[in-house]
């Protein structure tokens, strides 16, 4: 659903939806969607959690 919302032109709403989903559901479900549709966001999350920064 977040992908469809973002594709329809409302990426901020899609981000909020994914954030809410990550907060209440097991990570493996929304994380697989995140990796499939927004791999750059997944990489940024991994970097932030691991203390690494990409250039």
Q: Are 54 and 47 in contact (CB under 8 A)?
A: yes
- Would the pLDDT of 54 be above 60? no
Which pLDDT tens digit goes with each residue over 3-38? Answer: 788 788 888 888 788 778 777 877 776 677 778 877
**9: DSSP letter:** T
Task: Please give the pLDDT value at position 53.
Answer: 62
Residue 2: per-residue pLDDT: 74
The pTM is what?
0.49
Show the CA angle centred on residue 44, arms to residues 42 and 47, nearest 5°: 110
Length of the chain (residues): 55
User: How many whole angstroms separate alpha carbon 20 and alpha carbon 55?
Assistant: 28
């Amino acid at each position: 659903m977040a992908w469809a919302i973002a594709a329809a032109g409302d990426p901020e709403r899609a981000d909020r939806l994914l954030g809410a989903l990550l907060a209440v559901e097991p990570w493996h479900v929304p994380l697989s969607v995140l990796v499939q549709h927004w791999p750059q966001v997944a990489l940024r999350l991994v970097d932030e959690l691991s203390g690494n920064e990409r250039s």
